[in-house]
Structure 1
Amino acid sequence: MSESPILLTPGPLTTAIETRRAMLRDWGSRDPAFIALTAELRSRLLQVASGEGSHVAVPLQGSGTFIVEAAIATLVGPADKLLVLINGAYGERMVTIARRMGRAVEALRWAEDRVVEPGKVAEALRADPSITHVALVHCETTTGILNPLAEIAAVVAAAGRGFLLDAMSSFGAIGIDLSSVPVTALLASSNKCLEGVPGLGFALVQPAALERAVGNSPSLSFDLHAQWRGFETDGQWRFTPPVQVVAALVEALRRLEAEGGPAGRLRRYQENFDTLWAGMRRLGFALFLDEAVQAPIIATFRMPADGRLEFRRFYDALAARGFLIYPGKLTQAESFRIGCIGALDRRDFERLLEAVAEALRTMEVAA
């Protein structure tokens, strides 16, 4: 067992030693070497989603929520109206952000175990011509459910509205092709499927949308138009960047390319999920989602209905064995979550399953 625990969470997550090693160097943020590193970062992010020529990469200091807030504040203007498609907690957070930014916002909701339905989105857009933008969480981290991106994007494009995509839990593993799927702005962060460390969000945005957004943001730091113009002017960050986080993410992106890009990474994550689900099923656990809509990113398991298993004791028992899981985030059922992402493979999940079985025996919970 390594000194560091295995992180089976939606992020932060277990990173490769090479990625951590990239943080050992100090960088001058205005030095030509770091400016070149930033340029490589922006280029590689676009390559992951085939966004070269159609989008620009705008990184921003902070977590994934920071970049979502920056995008809503910048791209949704004071006279605009946002429709958020919700089947989990992160869609709800978008509504909260829009309201705090003073933007008009409506929500269209589905149950946490149901995907967003393109037909209902089309109906909502026909019924309300004042809606200018639509926002969707691609893979909702609340459950691991995967929403039908291409179909929803097509509906939004046909209606002539802007489309904001939260791809936090999908970017880098579940393929997104910006050359064929109409997305105004894709939002993600460094510390999920890209397997970097926390501290950096980024937006892949159509330049025309940024041009239209000049002066929209009520925030100085979160103004994506100003951030973009800064990069385009001199290649530099407007404010002090997290230089070690940038270096780690560039190394992580190089590793992603070496693994075969998102398709190669998805194969490993799928094997992780398949190993986890087969073993947890043998131990008596049930998935919250139907397998048809389950992404191999994070798995939500129902707590036994008879109350035999108490999450805190279960968490502590696994933590003592070197594995950190996540509590559930559902509104309708007691649950816990296990991430299948990070610098992990099938063997790590086989060890996890042994630890789960040992924990159940220790807690005198029959499998």
Structure 2
Amino acid sequence: MTVPPLPAPEFGEPYLLTPGPLTTAYSVKQAMLRDWGSWDDDFRAMTRALRNRLLAMIGDGAPDYDCVPIQGSGSYCVEAMLGSFVPRDGKVLVLANGAYGLRAAQTLDYLGRAYELLNKGDYLPPRGDEVARILANDPAITHVLAIHCETSSGILNPVEEIAGATQNAGRKLLIDSMSAFGALPLDPVALNCAAFVSSANKCIEGVPGFGFVIARKDEIANAKGNSHSLALDVHAQWATMEKTGQWRFTPPTHTVAAFLHALDLHEAEGGVPARGARYTHNRDVMVQGMRDLGFETLLADRWLSPIIVTFFCPADPNFTFQGFYDAMKGRGFIIYPGKLTVVDSFRIGCIGQMDEHVMRRVVDAAREALQDMNVSSAAPPAAALEERKKLAA
């Protein structure tokens, strides 16, 4: 099914070309117009439906796993997962190639958990053979944390390779699938994944307010007493929901209602395969158009995710990111600044209520923005291309 895009000018809203929050369907917004009582049986039924429907998305592994929603942003869920499932004497191998892997390492610093950091920089994914070598050399490592899609660069990491190396070494795998679950396949049984996390306002196209932890039931049971935090204790949240059907603290009722409707739209579109196909086509149309304008992607095609794409900023002295951002926003598109450590960049998201027709308008807006700024070439600095070539070799 082709999802009708939200006509931004009519509603006075720009398209959000970001990795979430993102542009949502008007009917998702409408679902938030009713107030819900957090202790009421109707809302308990909504929470139960939310958990069951998310578990249904992982297929045959659902009986061995459970879903625990957590109030807050995606980073709350990552911290909840690390603090609940990594015992205080555990050690985590953090696989980083951007801001979110590094944020996980910073979280472990706050938690007082030991970790080893494999930092691949901005351009490259961690590979299975690297993980295997590190685990072989450090028997103290109990867990491996992988980022499914690192949105600071737009790189899609090879979780299957990482999972294989982790399982062969007898360690436990944790996955941050914040920006991938719902559009990219994730089979926790095949990956032998102890737990993974995602968020309401990503590929399922809900609104911000909560995320969720999907974990093996035995891992949840064994997590009792591990957590450093009252509010981010996955076991305590799960135990309360199992006993009463309620969230321990005030739930984001309107966000839950919106999410359930977003799940309806997700299913109507054709689920994960169809959602992923639309996002992939969005990416391909947009990337080709931007390359035709002279822009260069940070990553080689094999590592480009269908979630968000990073482009080098042009070398032309008339180009400024702020000027480009303002020109794009004036045409109805909010883009994302870069998060690279080496070169200037910007990002364009491919997810949300958008299709190829919207992405063609994005390219047209970029062309007009360059003209407004008197930028004669969108080519990046030669040093940026040389750095990419050197690191990718």
Q: State the TM-score bracket (shorter-chain normalisation).
A: over 0.9
Counterpart of 1:102 in structure 2 is 112
Higher deviation after alignment, 154-163 or 308-317 = 154-163
User: Quick check: 1:27 aligned with 2:36?
Assistant: yes
1:108-142 CA-to-partner distances (Å, cap 9, x unmatched) read 12132111110110111111111111101011011
Query: Which residue is 2:93 aligned to?
Result: 83
**Counterpart of 2:4?**
none
Hey, what does 2:5 align to over in structure 1? none
Structure 2: which amino acid aligns with 1:248?
Answer: A
Q: Secondary structure at the match of 2:190?
A: coil
Does structure 2 conserve the Cα–Cα contact (< 8 Å) formed by 1:190 and 1:200?
Answer: yes
- 2:174 and 2:224 mapped to 1: Cα distance? 17
Q: 2:158 aligned with 1:148, yes or no?
A: yes
Other-structure match for 1:201: 211
Q: Distance in 2 between matches of 1:78 and 1:146?
A: 30
Displacement, 1:351? 1.3
Superposition map of 1:206-221 within 5 A? 206-221=216-231
- Give the C-alpha shift of residue 18 in structure 1: 1.2
Give the residue type in structure 1 aligned to 2:256.
V
The DSSP-based 3-state class of the residue aligned with 1:187 is strand
Matched residues in 1 for 2:58 and 2:119: separation?
A: 28
Counterpart residue identity of residue 114, structure 1: L
Deviation at 1:366, TM superposition (A): 2.0
Aligned to 2:298: 288
Aligned to 2:283: 273
Q: Does the 8 A contact of 2:318 with 2:373 survive in 1? A: no
| Separation (CA, whole Å) in 2 of partners of 1:181 and 1:125 | 17
CA distance in 2, matches of 1:159, 1:232: 33
Question: AA paired with 2:357?
Answer: R
Q: CA–CA distance in 1 between the matches of 2:251 and 2:176?
A: 22
**Counterparts of 2:228 and 2:305 in 1: how far apart (Å)?**
36
Correspondences of 1:1-367 after superposition (within 5 Å): 1-2=9-10, 3-50=12-59, 51-367=61-377
**Contact kept? 1:54, 1:178, Cα under 8 Å:** no
- Which is worse superposed, 105-114 or 121-130? 105-114
Partners of 2:97 and 2:239 lie apart in 1 by: 35
Query: How far apart in 2 are the matches of 1:331 and 1:308?
Result: 22
Counterpart-to-counterpart distance in 1, 2:343 and 2:39: 50
2: CA distance between counterparts of 1:297 and 1:74?
28
CA contact (8 A) 1:122 1:155 kept: yes
Shift of 1:98: 0.5
Size of the aligned set, in residue pairs, is 367
- Render the CA deviation track for 1:235-277: whole Å, top value 9, x for unaligned: 1111110000011111111111111111000111111111101
Q: TM-score, normalised by structure 2?
A: 0.92
SS in 1 for 2:188: coil
SS in structure 1 of the partner of residue 64 of structure 2: coil
Post-superposition offset of 1:309: 1.4
CA drift at 1:49: 2.3
Instruction: Write the letter of the residue equivalent to 1:30.
Output: W
The one-letter code matched in structure 2 to 1:203 is V
- AA matched with 1:247: A
Deviates more, 1:202-211 or 1:49-58: 49-58
Cα distance in 1, alignment partners of residues 133 and 191 from structure 2? 20
Question: In structure 2, how many angstroms separate the alpha carbons of the residues matched to 1:98 and 1:318?
Answer: 38
Q: 1:29 deviation in Å? A: 0.8
> Post-superposition shift, 1:7?
0.3
Once the 2 structures are TM-superposed, how far is the Cα of residue 363 of structure 1 from its aligned partner? 0.8
- Cα drift, residue 302 of structure 1: 0.5
Aligned to 1:258, the other structure's residue is in SS state: helix
- Provide closer, same or farther for how the CA distance between residues 230 and 359 of structure 1 changes in structure 2, counting only shifts above 3 A: same
SS in 1 for 2:31: helix
* Alpha-carbon separation, structure 1, partners of 2:55 and 2:294: 42
- Cα distance, 1:307 vs structure 2: 3.6
Where does the alignment leave 5 or more consecutive residues of structure 2 unmatched? 1-8, 378-393
Say whether the 8 Å CA contact 2:316–2:375 is kept in structure 1: no
* Aligned-partner SS, 1:217: coil
Offset at residue 80 of structure 1 (A): 0.8
Partner Cα distance (1:265, 1:77) in 2: 36
CA distance in 2, matches of 1:298, 1:153: 23
CA distance in 2, matches of 1:70, 1:206: 15
Q: Which 4+ stretches in 1 moved above 3 angstroms? A: none
Paired residue secondary structure (2:189): coil
Moved more, 12-21 or 300-309: 300-309
Give the structure 1 partner of residue 381 of structure 2. none
Deviation digits for residues 12-47 of structure 1 (CA, Å, limit 9, x no counterpart):
100001111111111111111111110110011112
Deviation at 1:308, TM superposition (A): 3.6
